[in-house]
Each structure stands twice: as structure tokens, then as C-alpha cells.
Amino acid sequence: MKANQERFLIASVREKRFAFPLKDIAEVMETFLAYPIPKAPREYVGVMNFHGAPVPVLDFDSFLNGCPAKGTGSVLMLDSRICSLALRIDGIERIASGEIIGGGNESDWLSGTSVAIGQESLPSPSLERLVELLEDALRSSGRNARKP
């Protein structure tokens, strides 16, 4: 591996593929059991037990495309330095070495950065920005619920 390369987890959501920095993923789970979260936004599958701690599971496809959340697929547990959150994805392709070739765009968190893996370029979403968007959405939904 070259000095300027990093390792990425290549994952799929519908027909799209994403490169998640391996350093941002604490664990990958192929099966999981999630319990419903009352009054949670519909993109949340539920909450799961992760080594004794409750962790919300966000259906990445539902969040991106507004479709109903699925309870099957793989789960990417984010590293705790980012937040306590799991992402449900459709599948995992492989771990690969890649090089960041494009800088992040503050307004486009999903593109984050572009990663060259072999002859292709894949988007690497900004997980920190995703968490900010989720927190903002939860704050705003809470304000709306408190209005008389």
C-alpha cells in the first residue's frame, strides 16, 4: 500500500456504491436485532444492543431515498469518536486500498470526497456531516412536536 493510500470498506445501497473509510467503522455485523424506537423518524430501523450499549440503527437507503426502512442487510457500526450510530446498508463488497482524489464539498455531504480505487472513483460520504444533519433533523422535529 502506498503512503498516501487509505483502506476503505466498499458498501452498496440499492444500485449505488460507497467507500467508507475503514478507520471510521468500528464493526461490521451481517445480522442484527433491532427494537422499535417510539416516535422516531421513519428512517430509523430501531435500536440495537452493541456490547451492552443501546445504539440507534439508521437505514441509509431510507435516509437517502425516502423509502420505507428495511430490517435486513448489514450494519456498519460507526467509530465512537464520530457518534453512537449504526448504518443499515444493503451489502458489503470488500475492503480495498484507495486514494482520496477529490476534496469534500461542504454542501454535498453525500459526495464527501472522491476515492480512486483501481480504475474507478467512488463517493466517500462525510459521516461527520451525516451526523450533523441527523442531529439537526431531530432537533427540528422536536421543536415542531412541542408547538401547541
Domain ranges of the chain: 6-146
Query: Which tops the pLDDT comparison, 142 or 72?
Result: 72
Residue 106 has pLDDT above 60, yes or no: no
pLDDT at position 114 is 86
Q: How many CA atoms are closer than 13 Å to the CA of 141, on its beta-carbon side?
A: 10
Terminal C-alpha separation, the chain:
59
**Which of the following CATH numbers is that of domain 6-146: 2.40.240.10, 2.40.50.180, 3.40.50.150, 3.20.20.70?**
2.40.50.180
Q: Find out whether 60 and 130 touch, Cβ atoms under 8 Å.
A: no
Query: Which tops the pLDDT comparison, 1 or 34?
Result: 34
Q: Find out whether 5 and 24 touch, Cβ atoms under 8 Å.
A: no
Q: Find out whether 75 and 86 touch, Cβ atoms under 8 Å.
A: yes
Mean pLDDT across the stretch 47-75?
Answer: 91
Lowest mean pLDDT among 9-13, 32-36, 137-141: 137-141
pLDDT confidence bin for 85, thresholds 50/70/90: very high
**Digit-coded pLDDT (tens) for 1-19:** 565 789 999 999 998 999 9
Beta strands in the chain (DSSP E): 6-13, 16-21, 25-29, 44-50, 53-59, 74-78, 86-89, 91-102, 113-117, 120-124
The percentage of the chain sitting over the pLDDT mark of 90, rounded to a whole number, equals 55
